[in-house]
Structure 1
Amino acid sequence: MLPTRRCLVGLPVVRFSDLGIESSLVSCLADQGITEPFEVQIEAIPSAMEGRDICCRAPTGSGKTLAFGLPLISRIGPAKPKKPTALILTPTRELAEQIRNVLDPLAWESKMNVLSVYGGTSYGKQLKGLEKGVEILVACPGRLLDLLKRKALSLEDVSIVVLDEADRMADMGFMEPVCEIIDHCISEPQMILFSATLDHEVSKLRKSYQNDPVRIEIGPKEISMDSMEHLFWNIKPYKKTEIAVKSVRRAGRSIIFCRTRSGVDRLSDEMKLDNIPLSSLHGGLNQKQRDRAMRKFSSGRSMVLVATDVAARGIDVEGINCVVHYDPPDDAKAYKHRSGRTARAGSSGVVISLVKRNEQRSYNRIQREVGIRKRFTDPRPEVLKKNEFNLVPSYENKEGRINTKKKRNRRGRSKNSKRNKFTKGTNENRNKNFRGKEKRRRGRRSKKKADDRP
C-alpha cells in the first residue's frame, strides 16, 4: 500500500515559506494576492521539494498547478537550446495554456522561460522558442511527439515530468503516446502525477514509471452531486432556447453544454439575438479563437459560455452559478464532469437539464448511476435565485475609460504604426519630397508637350 501524507488539520496557518519555497517566489505570489497555500499544496510541495515521486488524486480547481509548479521552478536548472529541463503533459490545449499563464510570472521571477506546445497552431513560434531554450515545456502529447520526430527537441535533460489530468489523458486515448514520451527521457526523472481519479489506466502508469511514490488524496473520490441543486425540466424542442435564455438571465454566470459544434453555433446565434453576452467554444475553432473565447469568459467580458464537452474537464473558471445541459450528456460520467463546473470550493450552484420526451429514459439511467433521484417537472426559470452579473466592458471611452482599439487614419493604418512613423518624416523632409515630386511632374508635362508637336 502506498504511503499517504497525513492532512495538517488543527495546526497553525501555513505559509508558502514554511513549505520551503524561496522568498522571491513567495513575494511574487503575494503580489497576485496569494498568501496561504491550499490543502493540496500543503500536502504535495514538501515531498516534491525532496525529489519524491507523487501520485495525487485531487479535483480540478484545488490548486494543483502551484502544487507542482512551485517545486518544479525551485528545483530545475537552466536549459540549453532544444533541451528543456522540466516537462508538463496535459490532455487539452486550453489546460496547457492555462498552466503556462499561471507559471509564466513565477518562472520569470526565477529567470526561466515557459513554452506551451500543442496542435492547431503553427510550428514557427514553437520551434523558435525551443531553439532559444526553455526550462519548462507544457505540452499536449500529439504535438510533442511530432516535434520529437522532427528532432526539434530532446528530452535527455528533463529532470521532472508532471502528468496533469492523467485520467483525462487515458479517456482520450493518450496513454500510449504518454508512455512513448516518458521513454524519451534518458535519465529517470522525478514523476509527479495528478488525476481526478486513480483508476485502472492511471494505476498502470504509476506502477510502470513511479518509484515508491507518496500518495495524496484530496477531497471526495468523485464529484459530489449533493453540493448542487439538480433540476430536470420537461420541454418542447422549440422552447429550449427561450428557457435557456431566461435561466441564464436569472442565474448570471453560466455554462451551457451542447452535443455538437453546429449546435453550439446555432444556439449562440439565437442567444445573441436576445442580447446575451456570450462566448462560444468547440473543437472546430482554431486556437486563437478558442483562447479568445476563454479569455473573454474568464475575465467577465461575457456572462455565458456555450460549449461542447471540450470545456467540461480541466478548465478552472471561478464563480459559475449555473450549468445547463442543453443537449443530454453521453453518460453519467459526462454528466458529472459537466455539472462539476458549478458549486465549487463550498459555493452553491444549480444544474438544469432540458429534457425532451424521448430523452427521459436516458436521464433516468443517468440519475441512477450518479446517485440522485429527481422528478421531471415543467420549466420554471423565474424561481431560480437571481444573481447579479456585472459585465466587464471590452473597451472604455472618454468618461474615465480607456479604449483598447487603436485609432486609425484615413487609410486604415494605426496612427502609431511603424509604417507611418518612417514614411511621415519631419516637416522639412515632407517639403523636400513635395518639391521633388513637383519637379518630376513638370518634367513629364514638358516631355509630353514636346512629343505632341508635329
Structure 2
Amino acid sequence: MTFAELGIDQDMVEALATKGIIEPFPIQEQTIPMGLAGQDIIGQAKTGTGKTLGFGLPLLQSLGLDPEPGVKALVVVPTRELCVQVAEDLELASSNRATKIVAIYGGKAYEGQVEQLKAGAQVVVGTPGRLLDLASQRMLSLKDVKVMVLDEADKMLDLGFLSDIEKLFAQTSPTRHTMLFSATMPGPIVALARRFMNRPIHIRATDPDEGLTQANIKHVIYRAHSLDKDEVVSRILQAEGRGKTVIFTRTKRAAAKLVEELNDRGFNAAAVHGDLNQEQRERAMAAFKAGKKDILIATDVAARGIDVNDVTHVINHTIPDDHDTYLHRAGRTGRAGKTGIAVTFVDWDDLHKWSLINRALDMGVPEPVETYSSSPHLFTDLDIPVGSKGRLKPSPVPKVEGAASHPPREQRSGDRQRSRTRGGSSHSGTTNTAAEQKPAGAGTHDGTTPARRRTRRRRPSGGAPAAPTS
C-alpha cells in the first residue's frame, strides 16, 4: 500500500518521498480514506506510529492546492514542542502547495504569529491558551474553520485544558469535520467526542495480541540508588550502537543538574524544561534533531514533542507517575518501526508506584533487580563494553580560591639558584651587571627602580628599640 493508493494527491506523495516517507503506517491506512471522505474520526494508536499524517494529509487535501486566505483548519495540541513538530510535518507535506501554516503558542512574541495570520495562513496549529488569547483580542477568527483536529487529546485533559477546548469548539461551525487522535482514550475524552463530533468512528490501530507496550521496544527496569544513578547513566551512554538518547527527570531542577553533570563528564547533552525560555527550548530541540547534541534531558512537558525517528534509548532517571506517562516516555524510542530500549530507574521509595505501573501494563517485573554502576548484569543487559567508566574526560582539578599557585619543582629549583647568584658571581663564573654592582640607593642608567636600602632594628632585651643602623 502507498499514499497514492490511499487517494493522496501526487504533489504530497512526492513531498513525503523527499524525506523517505513512502509506505503508510497502519493508523494512516485506516484513517486517511475516512478522513478524505469527511468522516469524523477518533484515532487511537501508540505513540510514534504516524498519527500526525493520519489527520494531516486529509486536512491539507480538503483545502485544495491553492486555498483562499484565512484560517480554514485548526489543529489543537497540548504543548509548545508538539505544536512546532506538527507544524513542521504539515509544512513538509504541503511544500508543493500554496498552503500556509502557522504555529501559535506561548513563550514567543505575538507579533510574528499575528503577522502570519494577517498574511492569510490557512492552517493554524496551536496550544489552547495562546489560541484563546488571540481569539479574545480578535486577532484570530475561527468561524470559517472547516476541519478541526485534537492531537494528543488525553494529554490536554491531564493539563487541565478541557474547558479551553470546549471554548474553542464553540467558536467553530457545527458542520466542521472533526478528528480526534491520541494514544490513550480516557472516559472524559470520549464524552467530549460525543458532544462535539458527528457520529465518529473509533479506529484502534493496534494488534490485540501485542499488549499495551510496543513489541519493538526492550524494557529494562532497575532498582537503583539515587547517588549512583548518574554513574549508571554515564555507562549506559557508552552502550554499543547507542544513538540519540532521551533522559526524563521528574523536576526542572533535576534536569538542569543532570545536563551540567553529563557535560562535565564529557558527554554532549542539552536540556528542555520549564525554567528555560522558549527560544532556549527550541534551540535545544533543534540541536538534538540535527544531531549536534545526542542526549536530550527533558521533563514530561516536552515528551509529546520529541518526534525523532533515530532515538535508540530512553532513560527514566525518575519513575513516571503513572502507566500512561510511562508509555508516552518509552514511545520516544522505537519510532517509525525501528527498535529501541527503555531503561527505568526505580528508587526504593517508589516501589509502590512501579507496582501499579507494572500491573497496569502487565510488564511481568514485580521486583526490579537491584543494580549499581559496577553490577555485571548492567553491562550484559545493555551491551556496554566491559571496563567502561562513567567519565569520557578527566575530572578538572578544583582550584582553591585565594590559594597561591605553585610552579613546578624544576622551576622552583631554578628560582632558588638564580636567587643565590644575585649577590655575587653566577654559577658560570661571570660577575654581576653594573646595575647590580651599584651601591644601595643609587639609580640605574636605564631608569629602573633602584635597589632598596635594607635596615635592621635591634631591640635590646627589656629596653626601648634601638635606633636604626644601616
**TM-score between both structures, scaled by the size of structure 2:** 0.74
User: What secondary structure does 2:28 align onto?
Assistant: helix
Give the conservation status (yes or no) of the 8 Å contact 1:165–1:314.
no
User: What secondary structure does 2:227 align onto?
Assistant: helix
| TM-fit CA distance, 1:226 | 5.7
Deviations 1:332-368 (A, max 9, x none): 3323322232344554433323333333343334323
Q: Measured at CA, do residues 361 and 116 of structure 1 come closer, stay the same or move farther in structure 2, by a change above 3 Å?
A: same
Equivalence for 1:4? none
Q: Would you say 1:245 and 2:234 are equivalent positions? A: yes
Partner of residue 284 from structure 1, selected from 256, 271, 275:
275
Indicate the structure (1 or 2) with the bigger Cα radius of gyration.
2
Deviations 1:189-231 (A, max 9, x none): 1111111122211211221111122332112587416654443
Give the conservation status (yes or no) of the 8 Å contact 2:74–2:147.
yes
Equivalence for 1:383? 380
CA distance in 1, matches of 2:216, 2:15: 34
Equivalence for 2:156? 169
Partner of residue 296 from structure 2, selected from 291, 305, 325:
305
Q: Measured at CA, do residues 98 and 363 of structure 1 come closer, stay the same or move farther in structure 2, by a change above 3 Å?
A: same
Give the conservation status (yes or no) of the 8 Å contact 1:90–1:165.
yes
Q: Would you say 1:17 and 2:4 are equivalent positions? A: yes
CA distance in 1, matches of 2:309, 2:234: 21
CA distance in 2, matches of 1:117, 1:367: 38
Partner of residue 147 from structure 2, selected from 160, 179, 183:
160
Greater CA drift, 320-329 or 128-137: 320-329
CA distance in 2, matches of 1:345, 1:104: 19
Q: Which amino acid aligns with 2:253?
A: S
Q: Would you say 1:209 and 2:196 are equivalent positions? A: yes
Q: Measured at CA, do residues 49 and 352 of structure 1 come closer, stay the same or move farther in structure 2, by a change above 3 Å?
A: closer
Q: Which amino acid aligns with 1:260?
A: T
Q: Would you say 1:255 and 2:252 are equivalent positions? A: no
Partner of residue 310 from structure 2, selected from 295, 319, 329:
319
Q: Would you say 1:270 and 2:258 are equivalent positions? A: no
User: What secondary structure does 1:19 align onto?
Assistant: coil
- Give the percent of matched residue pairs that are identical in Structure 1 and Structure 2: 35
Equivalence for 2:167? 180
User: What secondary structure does 1:155 align onto?
Assistant: coil
RMSD of the alignment, in Å? 2.3
Give the conservation status (yes or no) of the 8 Å contact 2:83–2:305.
no
Give the conservation status (yes or no) of the 8 Å contact 2:217–2:340.
yes
Greater CA drift, 289-298 or 175-184: 289-298
CA distance in 2, matches of 1:105, 1:368: 40
Equivalence for 1:434? none
Bigger share in helix: 1
Q: Would you say 1:140 and 2:133 are equivalent positions? A: no
Greater CA drift, 356-365 or 287-296: 356-365
| TM-fit CA distance, 1:314 | 4.6
Greater CA drift, 136-145 or 337-346: 337-346
Give the conservation status (yes or no) of the 8 Å contact 2:308–2:335.
no
Give the conservation status (yes or no) of the 8 Å contact 1:79–1:134.
no
CA distance in 1, matches of 2:310, 2:219: 18
Equivalence for 1:63? 50
Q: Which amino acid aligns with 1:376?
A: V
| TM-fit CA distance, 1:322 | 2.2
Q: Counterparts of 1:45-64 in structure 2 under 5 Å?
A: 45-64=32-51
- Count of aligned positions: 374
Q: Measured at CA, do residues 184 and 97 of structure 1 come closer, stay the same or move farther in structure 2, by a change above 3 Å?
A: same
User: What secondary structure does 2:98 align onto?
Assistant: coil
CA distance in 1, matches of 2:9, 2:334: 34
Give the conservation status (yes or no) of the 8 Å contact 1:228–1:342.
yes
Deviations 1:37-96 (A, max 9, x none): 222222111111112211111222211222221221111156666x30111111111111
Q: Which amino acid aligns with 2:201?
A: V
Deviations 1:411-443 (A, max 9, x none): xxxxxxxxxxxxxxxxxxxxxxxxxxxxxxxxx
Deviations 1:295-316 (A, max 9, x none): 2212222221111112333532
Give the conservation status (yes or no) of the 8 Å contact 1:223–1:340.
no
Q: Would you say 1:128 and 2:125 are equivalent positions? A: no
Q: Counterparts of 1:72-111 in structure 2 under 5 Å?
A: 72-76=59-63, 83-111=70-98
**TM-score between both structures, scaled by the size of structure 1:** 0.77
Give the conservation status (yes or no) of the 8 Å contact 1:60–1:316.
no
Deviations 1:86-131 (A, max 9, x none): 1111111111111111111333422110000001110010111111
| TM-fit CA distance, 1:175 | 1.4
Greater CA drift, 23-32 or 177-186: 23-32
User: What secondary structure does 1:256 align onto?
Assistant: strand
Q: Measured at CA, do residues 370 and 17 of structure 1 come closer, stay the same or move farther in structure 2, by a change above 3 Å?
A: closer
Greater CA drift, 258-267 or 304-313: 304-313
CA distance in 2, matches of 1:264, 1:23: 44
Q: Measured at CA, do residues 226 and 71 of structure 1 come closer, stay the same or move farther in structure 2, by a change above 3 Å?
A: closer
| TM-fit CA distance, 1:290 | 1.3
Q: Would you say 1:33 and 2:26 are equivalent positions? A: no
Partner of residue 358 from structure 1, selected from 325, 349, 359:
349
CA distance in 1, matches of 2:336, 2:113: 36
